[in-house]
Amino acid sequence: MHIVFDHVSSGSALQNFCLDFTAWGCTVLHDPTEQYSQAVLSVLMGLDDIDAGNLWLDDKTHEEFLTHHPLISTLGYVFDEGIMLSNLTLRENLLLPWRKRFEGEPEKAFNADLKNFMQQLNLKIDLLLRPASISPAERKFMGYIRAFMLKPRLLLIDDPFYLLNKTQRNQMFMFLNRQKHLQPMLIASADDEFMGDIASQVINLTGICSV
Amino acid sequence: MTQEHKKKSFVGFFLFIADTIYELAHIRSNRHVSLVVVMRQILFTGVEALPLIGFIALAIGGLVIMQGYAFLSTFGQGIWVHKILVLVVVSELSGIITALVVIARSGTAISTELGNMVVSREIKLLKSYGISPIGYLVLSRIFGVMIAMLVLTIYFNIIAVLGGWLFSQFFNHLEFRAFMNDFLAVLMLPQVLMSLIKSIIFGWIIAITASYQGMSVINASTEVPQRTIKAVVNSIFAVIITDIAISWLFWMLG
C-alpha cells in the first residue's frame, strides 16, 4: 500500500508532516522520540482528524479510498494498551469485529482461528471473563489476536512491546516474526529490536519534515 | 462557562441529535446494534427499577386518595377523589416521577459509562472497526430507555391505582370492583394516551441527554462526574419543560 502524508496537520502531534512510503512485509516506523509514530497510525486509521494537508492511500485520498474499501478489511489496529470493550466478555470482544469483517461466515471458523492463535501465543484464558479480570499484558495479547484474526490488508501496530515483560516480549517478537510472512504490518516503535531481522524496511522518523 | 462555550455545546447537542437520526435512518447497515444490548438496557432501566417505582407509586396513589378524600369529604364531594387520581397521578405524576427515577438511575449510569469509555479509548476502538459509536452505543440505549420508560409508566399507573384502592379502605370499605368502576368512569382515552406519549418522549430525552454528555468527555476522567451532573440537570429541565408543553397541547386540543 502506497501511503503519502502530504503536509498533514492533525491536532498538536503532526504539523505540516510529510512522509512518502510503500508499506510491504513488515514496515517499521522507527521513532526514538515517540513524537510522531502514534499520531501517524491514528491519522491512518481515521481516529484523529486531519486539520490540513492530504493523506493519500494508493493515489486516492484517504476518504475516497475508504469509501471504496471497508476500513475493517483494509486497516487493522493494535492499540498500545490492548484496549477492549469493558462491558463485553473477551470472546464477545473478539467476535464483534470478526462478525463485521466476515459476515455470514460460520462461528466454527472463528473458533478454529482463535484456538490457533491462542496456542501460538501459549495463552490459557477463560474467554467468558470480562477484560478487567485479566492482566494488562494478557489484554494486549488478546488485542493482537483480535487484530490478526481480522486479516486486514495492512495491520498497524502501535508500540508492540508496551506493557510486556522480558519473557512476553520475546514471545511476541517470535510471534510477529512468524506472522510477517502472512500479514503485512506497519509497526510504530521506539525499540531497537525492530530495526534488525524482523523489519522488511525501516523508516526512521527522526528529523522528518514536520515544521 | 463562557457564552461561546455554551453556544458550542448547544449546537453540539443538536448535531448529536442529527447524528442519531442519521444512524437510525441507516439502521439496516448497523446490524451490530445488538438486541442483546437493548435487552440489557431494558433490564437495567426497567426491570431493576420495578421495586423502587412500585414503592413510590403505591405511596403516591395512597396519599393522593388519602389527602383528596380528607379534603373533598368535608364538602360531601368524596366521589371526585377518583377524578383527582386520574388527573394528578395518571396524567402528570406517573410520567414525571418515573422520569426522575430513570434519570437518577439510568441517566447517570449511561453518562458515566460512556464518559469512561471515551477516557479508556473504547470509543476509538469501535471507530477502528469502522463501527459508529453512536449506532452501536447510543441507539441501543435510546431504544432500551424508551421501552423501559413506557413499561415503567404503565406499571406506575397500575400500582398507584391499587395503592389508591388500598388506602381508600381506611375511609370507606369500598369493593375493588366498585372502586375500579368509579375510576374507569372518569378515566378518558386522551389522558391515557398523553401519559404514554409523555413516557416515550421522556425516555428519548433522558437517553439522548445522558449519551450526549457522556460522549462529550474529551480525555480526562475528572470530566466524567461533571458531565454526569450536567446530564441530570439538563434532563430534569428538559423533561419538565416537555411535560408542560405536552399537557398544554392536550389541553388546547380539548
Position B175 in a domain: yes
pLDDT at B1: 45
pLDDT at A208: 62
Interface touch B124/A47, C-beta < 8 Å: yes
Alpha carbon distance B247, A98 (integer Å): 48
Q: Where are the alpha helices (DSSP H) in chain B?
A: 3-25, 35-45, 50-72, 81-84, 94-102, 108-119, 122-128, 133, 139-168, 176-186, 189-215, 223-252
Interface touch A79/B129, C-beta < 8 Å: no
Position B238 in a domain: yes
Interface touch B130/A100, C-beta < 8 Å: yes
Query: Is pLDDT of A185 > 70?
Result: yes
Q: Testing the interface with A: which of B128, B137, B224 to mutate, by most A Cβ within 10 A?
A: B128
Q: State the helix-helix crossing angle for B223-252 and B189-215, rounded to 10 degrees.
A: 160
DSSP-derived secondary structure letter, A13: T
Task: List, for residues B149-200, the tens digit of each pLDDT value.
Answer: 999 999 999 999 888 888 888 776 778 888 888 888 888 888 889 999 999 9
Query: Which residue's entry shows cell 396519599?
Result: B63
Q: What are the beta bridge partners of residue A77?
A: A156
Task: List, for residues B89-147, the tens digit of each pLDDT value.
Answer: 888 899 999 999 999 999 999 999 999 999 999 999 999 999 999 988 999 899 999 99
Position B170 in a domain: yes
Alpha carbon distance A84, B123 (integer Å): 10
Position B207 in a domain: yes
**Mean pLDDT of the A143-169 span:** 93
Q: Testing the interface with B: which of A49, A85, A86 to mutate, by most B Cβ within 10 A?
A: A85
How is residue B96 written as a grid cell?
414525571
How is residue A110 written as a grid cell?
472463528
CB B236 within 8 A of CB B213: no
Nearest CA in chain A to B127: A47
State in Å, rounded, how far the first CA of chain A is from the last one: 26
CA A169 to each of CA A31, A141, A165, A166, A180: distance values in angstroms, whole numbers, following the listed order: 19, 11, 6, 5, 16
Choose among B116, B122, B128: nearest Cβ to A77: B128
Query: Is pLDDT of A134 > 60?
Result: yes
pLDDT at B168: 80
Amino acid present at B199: S
Chain A from 146 to 205: CB within 8 A of any B CB: none
**Mean pLDDT of the B60-80 span:** 81
pLDDT at B30: 61
pLDDT at B4: 56
Neighboring chain B residues of A96 at a CB cutoff of 8 Å: 32, 129, 131
Nearest CA in chain B to A103: B31
Residue B231 distance to chain A (closest CA, Å): 21
Task: List, for residues A68-83, the tens digit of each pLDDT value.
Answer: 999 999 999 999 998 9
Q: What are the beta bridge partners of residue A26?
A: A185
Confidence of residue B31 (pLDDT cuts 50, 70, 90): low
Nearest CA in chain B to A131: B122
Q: Is A98 on the interface with B (CB under 8 A)?
A: no
For the ranges A130-139, B26-35, B55-64, which has the lowest average pLDDT? Answer: B26-35
Nearest CA in chain A to B122: A85
Detail the DSSP E strand segments found in chain A: 2-10, 14-22, 26-30, 52-57, 60-61, 75-78, 154-158, 185-189, 201-204
pLDDT at B242: 96
pLDDT at B71: 82
pLDDT at B5: 57
Neighboring chain A residues of B124 at a CB cutoff of 8 Å: 47, 79, 83
**Mean pLDDT of the A166-187 span:** 91
- Per the structure, the complete domain to which residue B119 belongs is given by 32-253
Query: How many domains does chain B fold into?
Result: 1
CA B226 to each of CA A181, A210, B112, B232: distance values in angstroms, whole numbers, following the listed order: 49, 37, 10, 10
Neighboring chain A residues of B116 at a CB cutoff of 8 Å: 86
Q: Is A96 on the interface with B (CB under 8 A)?
A: yes
Position B23 in a domain: no
Task: List, for residues B124-138, the tens digit of each pLDDT value.
Answer: 999 999 999 998 899
Residue A100 distance to chain B (closest CA, Å): 8
Position B11 in a domain: no
Confidence of residue B24 (pLDDT cuts 50, 70, 90): confident
Q: Under an 8 Å CB criterion, which residues of B touch A?
A: 31-32, 113, 116-117, 120-122, 124-131
For the ranges A43-47, A59-63, B83-87, which has the lowest average pLDDT? Answer: B83-87
Q: Testing the interface with A: which of B129, B137, B219 to mutate, by most A Cβ within 10 A?
A: B129
| Percentage of chain A lying above the pLDDT 90 cut | 62
Confidence of residue A32 (pLDDT cuts 50, 70, 90): confident
CB A129 within 8 A of CB A89: yes
pLDDT at A12: 76
Exposed (0-12), middle (13-18) or buried (19+): which is A115, by Cβ within 10 Å?
Answer: exposed
Q: Is A84 on the interface with B (CB under 8 A)?
A: yes
Long-range CB contacts (within 8 A, 24+) of B226-232: B227/B111, B227/B115, B228/B108, B228/B111, B228/B112, B228/B115, B231/B107, B231/B108, B231/B110, B231/B111, B232/B103, B232/B104, B232/B107, B232/B108
Position B8 in a domain: no
pLDDT at B7: 59
How is residue A173 written as a grid cell?
517478537
pLDDT at B81: 78
Alpha carbon distance A185, A28 (integer Å): 8
Position B26 in a domain: no
Confidence of residue A190 (pLDDT cuts 50, 70, 90): confident
Choose among B31, B116, B121: nearest Cβ to A83: B121
Interface touch B126/A85, C-beta < 8 Å: yes
ipTM field: 0.91
Choose among A46, A79, A99: nearest Cβ to B121: A79
**Mean pLDDT of the A88-114 span:** 93
pLDDT at B23: 87
| The model's pTM | 0.87
Q: Is A83 on the interface with B (CB under 8 A)?
A: yes
pLDDT at A70: 92
pLDDT at A210: 44
Q: State the helix-helix crossing angle for B35-45 and B139-168, rounded to 10 degrees.
A: 30
pLDDT at A211: 38
Nearest CA in chain B to A75: B128
